[in-house]
Chain A
């Protein structure tokens, strides 16, 4: 099993709060991704990174931001959480062959 970690696993937070979802991988992968997924639904790419200091917005518009200061760390930040942000957020990294490895996800509920 690949070594990619997300914290927290579950988060319930009030509207307007700032939150940061953590994602770390120990495999040295350059490419990392953030996906948003509602239960039973498709994966929506919201951010991706090709390496340190390289980040791009994904196909789904998102009010979140990301940073990639270190290869192993790719945190996602919501400056002001809203109920519409309630979802599961999945972080992934991919190896040289393009195979993706996912973290266990963060289930976010904004009340």
Chain B
């Protein structure tokens, strides 16, 4: 079945440094989604990318969808302590287009 792989598994950065997490799918995706889960919380939808090569920005967050629609990245510029959490990518796949999540990247920020 479809697999969504995410790297790195964990990253610890100094406040003010940049951070990037990468997502790769074993199959072409109709769209890719990103979620953020704060420690002790539940995943919250951040954004959805649909078009090949699409780039979207939300303040310090930049999301990209690859030309082949099989990979995506989330880049955070100048991290802040409020960015701490786990970032998941997800895409529709498998029977019935159920949502398949990557394993997530845990971000810790040292102040």
User: Considering the chains assembled together, what is the distance between the CA atoms of A45 and B106 in angstroms?
Assistant: 19
CB–CB B48/A102 < 8 A: no
CB–CB B33/A99 < 8 A: yes
B19-27, B65-73, B75-83, B96-104: which lies at the interface: B96-104
A40-B86, A40-B106, A42-B104 given as contacts; is B42 within 8 A of A98 (CB)? no
CB–CB A43/B101 < 8 A: yes
Size bracket, chain B contacts: 20 to 34
Total A-B pairs, Cβ < 8 A: 53
Chain A window 95-111, contacts with chain B (Cβ cutoff 8 Å), 1 for yes, 0 for no? 00111111111000000
User: Considering the chains assembled together, what is the distance between the CA atoms of A50 and B98 in angstroms?
Assistant: 9
Cβ-based interface call for B31 (8 A): yes
- Look across to chain A and name the residue whose beta carbon is closest to the beta carbon of B86: A40
Chain A window 7-50, contacts with chain B (Cβ cutoff 8 Å), 1 for yes, 0 for no? 00000000000000000000000010100000010110100101
